[in-house]
Structure formats: C-alpha cells, structure tokens
Structure 1
Amino acid sequence: MSARTPVLVVSQVDDPTADSVIDELNRRRIPVVRLDPGDFPERVAVRAQLGPDGLRGDIRTTTRVADLERIRSVYWRRPRPYAAPVGLSEQDARWCREEARYGLGGVLATLRGAHYVNHPWRNRDAEYKPAQLAAASNCGFDVPSTLLTNDPRSARAFVRRHQSVVYKPLRSTDYQDSEGRALTVWVEEVEPTSMGSGVSHTVHLFQKRVHAVADLRVTVVGQEVFTVRIEGSPGLDWRRHYGELSYRSIDTPGHLAHRVRTYMESFGLVFGAFDFGVDRDGRAWFYECNPNGQFAWFPEPITQRIVSAIADRLQYAGEHLDP
C-alpha cells in the first residue's frame, strides 16, 4: 500500500486517545487527515460524485485534503454532532444538521476499500445497553440481573427483591448545570424510597449490585486482547477515582478471551472496551462493552501497547493481522 494513502481520523479536537494514536502514526510517517463533522460546513467541505466506480471526490479541512478513493483506514473516534450555520431559524438549522448527518455522514461511512476502526454504524448498533446485555448473555458472560423500566412500582419491587441495586445511565449524554458546567451521571446505589414519579419520565436501567473486589478493563483490538486489573477504588464507580487506583496488566483467562472475541464478532467490531466486576469468588460479571472506549488514562506502558495495536490496524488496513 502506498505510503501516501492517508488514515482518516474522525474526532473532535479535545480527544487525548485519538492524539496518542495520531502521534504513533506520525512517528511511523503515515499521513493523517483529521476532521470533525461538528466543523461542517464552516471548516469542512465535501465534494463527492457517484459514478460507475463508486464515490469519487475529496473532503477538505482548513489544512488537509483527503481523496475519497485513497483513504486506507478510518479511525472513528468521538466526533461532535453535526452542526448548522449560525443565524438560522431552529427549523432550518435542524434541517441542515440532518442533511449533513445523512449526506456527509453517509459519505464518511461509504469509503470503498477503507478499513474502519470501528465503522460508525457498527458503533451505533453496539452502543445500546439492552443489546449489549442480551449479546453478553448469549456469549456466555455472567450478567447481573437487570431491569429496564419507566414504571416506579416495578422499580421498587426490583430493589426490594435484590436489596442491593444500582442505577446506571443508558448513555453518556451531555448534561449541564444552570451555569453551563458539564455534569456526569454516575453509577449510584438506590433505595426503594427513591423510586418516585421521576422514574416514569424515561427508561431507567437498574441492576443488581456486584460487590466487586476488583474490576477488569478488557480492551480488544482485532484478535488482540489486553486485560488490566483495576484495584483500590474507594467508591462504587471507579471512574470517579482514577488517581487513587492501581492498574496491572494480567493474562486474559482463555474463556474470557474467547467470549469477548465472540461478542466482537456479533456486532462486527474491530475495537471494544469491556468492563467487568470481579466478586469475592473470582467471578467476572459483565457490565458493558464501549465500542469506542477510552484508554489514554492508563499508565504509559499499558497505553502504548494498545496504541501500537490500533496503529497497526490503521497502517496495514487490517491486512495480515488476524489469523
């Protein structure tokens, strides 16, 4: 493959995980074009023409040009939502955003011969928590008892039955306080008395709590599986305590490696970040698989192994990497 065919990185500017992979590709002298669909149409332009041989044309940012026929791989990370020019009415802006999503988004998802990590439509399909949990059960993982409901009575009954229950958001959706500061909805333990009328406003996910003594983050890149044991969290949601945790690379148990690969195949994923809780008996309970999970917060030796594996996929377009 020509060294001049670029890797297209689709992500926002503030993305340390994408930055680390781009740095590695730059070290290997692999050309990179980075764009954020949220910059369209102000700082991104597309010219795509469909002919007998498929889509031809290019995508331009303020600093780069990518030939649609010469993109070797696409690293689809965390782009911002599609935007509209300022000054439009809400109805016109909404129309422009949707046209951009299905127009530019359709072009970015239809690059002939490009290797995607992951394809955006595979990411979309794999983001739904109910689908994740059902697939995990089918793959043989241990999955905590779970209730999805907007019925307060069912929620209260579930909590009473299992006694120790947590609430988990179904998606990491942007949420801000009255002053515009970003807020995070964490995993929290709930009581029957907290199951008020607010439950009826939308679907909630309640799950029997796993009393974990450690957590596992299992990152999969193609056929490579990297498992990190996480210990030392003083609270229920270890993501709130990054600086207080210990991280240790461990060998992935054979049965776990087999199941995560089966799960990945079921969704057509190349990359996935799995979270498990390990109970006192050493049993690993499936929490979720983020098809676009972060890893740049790991200590550098752990991060670099994952970065190298992703860079290999992008550099070689997935060829000759899997048995």
Structure 2
Amino acid sequence: MSGAGHVLILAGRFDPTCDLVVEELNRRAVPVFRADMAEFPLRLTLAASLSGDRWHGTLNNDRRTLDLASVRSVYYRRPTRPTFPEQMAAEARKVAETEARWGFGGLLTALPCRWLPPPGRAADAEYKPLQLRVAADAGLSVPRTLITNNADAAKGFADSLAGPLVYKPFFPVRGTVRGQTAAVYASLVGPGDLPHTDIATTAHLFQEWVPKAYEVRLTAVGGRIFAAEIHADSEAGHIDWRSDYDSHTYRVCDPPPEVATGVLRMLDRLGLPYGAFDFVVTPEGHWRFLEVNPSGQYGFIEQATGLPITAAICDYLGGTGHDEHP
C-alpha cells in the first residue's frame, strides 16, 4: 500500500529505536500517530464501525485523533499491555484485558495495510525450534541442537560432540536480583557439568559450540540487507556479545550470496518483512545461523556503522519497500 496516509506506531513510551523511526518519518513529512497499548482504555479511546468491507472510525488520545481509514502502515514495536483502573477487581481486569486484546487488537489487525512486523507472524517466529527448522530448510547452516528435559540425553549429546556445548534460553530472561538488573545469556557447558538435575525442571536448549572469528548482526528490511561484523574483545562477550556491549567494535560487511538468499527465503517463509539475524563466522569463514529476532534492535548497529536501516524501515512503512507482505 502506498500513497498518502498515517503511519500508526504502537510502542512503549520510552523506546530509542522507535524514536529514530519517528524522527525520520517526520523529516519526510509522513504523518505519524504514536500510541502505546498501555494507554487503552484510560487515555486512548476507540470507536469504529464496519461499512462495506472496511472498518471506519477513530483513535483518540489526549493529543491527537487518528482516522483509521488513513492508516497506510503500522510499526509494531513491542507495545506494553493495556492499563486498567487500580480499583478494578482482579477477575474483571482479566476479562477486560482479554476483551482489549481480541477487540482492540483484532480491529487493528483488520486494517488493510502493511505491518512491520505482523504481530501474529512475529509471535510465531519467536519460537526458536521453528526458527531453526525454517533456517535449515532455507539453506542456512544451523549448529547441531538438542532440546530436552532429560539430563542423560544432554550428557549423551555432549559426549557425541566431543567438545564444548552452549546452553541458551528459548526466550530472553531478564529481571532484578537484589536490586540489580540481571539477565541470562548463552553459557558454555563442559563435560563435567552434565548430567545435571536441574535439566529435568523444564525444557533446555543445547547447541554445539561453534568456533568464532567474529559474529554478525544482519538486519533485513523489505528485501534489503545490512550486515555488520561484531568483534567482542572480552571473554563474556566472546561467548555472548549481548553480555558486554562495551567490548564491541563493528565493521560493515557483505554476506555470502548463499547466506543473503537464505535470509530472504527464511523471512518469506515466516511471512516477515523484517528480521535481525545473528550469525557466527568461523575462522574458516563459514557463516552459521544462530537466531532471528522479528522485532530486534538495530539502533546500536546504525549508530556504530552508519548503515541506513532507519531509512529502509521508513521506506517500507511509507510503501516504497520491496516486500509486499501485509
């Protein structure tokens, strides 16, 4: 969908990555309506009716009014959950939140416009077992992987590799411990660590350790690819670069043609116009797929390298990108 119209941005109030997109759209004189699901229903009002095959109506907050028929695209940047009156009973709150999801959220998904990313497809793509299968099917090289809650199976997998393996969570684990922000990152597991009784408590993901020359964050937007090497100069950062951003240096790079083809094929099969991909590049120059984040951060890469990722996102939201996924 192209032409005049608003870009509806659904994001948390404090989101520096989203701010980059808003600033670029403003520079292009593209009208923007930014809201957070947390504003609904106390500070965001919805009224819409079905006329013919389209929904017509408005979204109102304390600043602006959006005509739903004017929405050309939606930038979905991890909005937070709806907020209800403090005095609302717990059962009533549960019902209201469910109704908000299926009513308000359902209406938004019914708008005939582009989404970056489509929330349902993005949610499906968060499943690492699905990612790994689709990546392999798309022709990307995937490390040997085990998912298990059986400690003996984990020990057998480690023995079969004849080398170290990596444990990583299926989904980002972040929180606060003794007043300090904490997160669970990928960690090396040695033969002496297995079997371990904690493995029986839930599903665990183990992968073979892939020797690293460096890693790559590859961001794909509407059929365009932007790749940057990440060189982590600390022990923790070498295992998982997210654990030590201060140790990084970056360098723009070009992926091998077969990797670029596999990335775009994978996004097509997942039904996504955007993906932040992580690869390990071995000392021999082989690219090994680790994961893709359908809503991944990119601002730190753009700031360090100058790669025009924000511009590509705005091209897509404005209707000039290559990919035509709804």
Fold conserved (TM > 0.5)? yes
Deviation at residue 242 of structure 1 after TM alignment: 1.6
- 1:46 and 1:119 map into 2 onto residues whose CA distance is 21
Q: CA deviation at 1:22?
A: 0.7
Q: Partner amino acid for 1:43?
A: R
Alignment partner, residue 176 of structure 1: 176
Provide the aligned length of Structure 1 versus Structure 2: 319
- Aligned ranges for residues 261-276 of structure 1 at < 5 Å? 261-276=264-279
Q: Give distance in 2, aligned partners of 1:92 and 1:76.
A: 27
270-279 or 32-41: bigger deviation: 32-41
Q: Relative to structure 1, is the Cα distance of residues 40 and 198 closer, same or farther in structure 2, using a 3 angstrom cutoff? A: farther
TM-aligned CA deviation for residue 304 of structure 1: 5.2
More strand by share: 2
Cα separation, 2, equivalents of 1:82 and 1:200: 35
Alpha-carbon offset, residue 320 of structure 1:
9.1
Compared CA separation, residues 128 and 190, structure 1 to 2 (3 A) = same
Q: Does residue 291 of the first structure (1) align with residue 294 of the second (2)?
A: yes
In 1, Cα distance between the equivalents of 2:66 and 2:321? 20
Change (3 A) 1:127 1:229: same
CA contact 1:10–1:35 (8 Å) conserved in 2: yes
The answer to which of 119-128 and 297-306 deviates more is 297-306
CA contact (8 A) 1:115 1:318 kept: no
What pairs up with 1:181-220 in 2 under 5 angstroms? 181-191=180-190, 192-193=192-193, 195-220=195-220
* Percent sequence identity over aligned pairs: 35
Aligned residue number for residue 10 of structure 1: 10
- Say yes or no: does 1:37 pair with 2:40: no
The residue that corresponds to 2:68 in the other structure is 68
Counterpart contact for 1:247–1:299, Cα < 8 Å? no
1:224-274 per-position Cα deviation (integer Å, ceiling 9, x unaligned): 111111113322111122222111111232111111110010011111111
Match of 1:280 in 2: 283
Query: How far, CA to CA, are the matches of 2:314 and 2:306 in structure 1?
Result: 12
8 Å contact from structure 1 (residues 115, 317) kept in 2: no
- CA displacement at 1:52 relative to structure 2: 2.1
Sort the Cα spacing of 1:18 and 1:93 in 2 relative to 1 into closer, same or farther, 3 A. same
Q: Pairwise mapping of residues 153-172 of structure 1 onto structure 2 (< 5 A)?
A: 153-162=152-161, 163-172=163-172
- 2:145 aligned with 1:146, yes or no? yes
Aligned to 2:319: 316
| Residue 102 of structure 1 pairs with residue 102 of structure 2 | yes
Structure 2 unmatched ranges of 5 or more: none
Q: Which runs of 5+ in 1 are unaligned?
A: none
Report how far residue 195 of structure 1 moved.
4.6
Q: Which amino acid aligns with 1:287?
A: L
SS of 1:72 mapped into structure 2:
strand
Matches of 2:286 and 2:307, distance apart in 1: 28
Contact 2:55 2:111 in 1 (8 A): yes
Cα offset for 1:62? 2.2
SS at 2:91 equivalent: helix
TM-score, normalised via structure 1 length? 0.92
Aligned to 2:126: 127
Distance 1:177 1:301 in 2: 31
Conserved? CA contact 2:222–2:322, under 8 Å = no
Distance 1:145 1:214, change over 3 A: same
CA RMSD of aligned residues (A): 2.1
Q: Which amino acid aligns with 2:299?
A: A
AA at the equivalent of 1:209: W
Deviation at 1:85, TM superposition (A): 2.8
Task: Show CA shifts across 1:30-61 (max 9, x none).
Answer: 11111111222122221122232321111222
Say if 2:263 is the partner of 1:260: yes
**For residues 45 and 161 of structure 1, what CA distance do their matches in structure 2 show?**
58
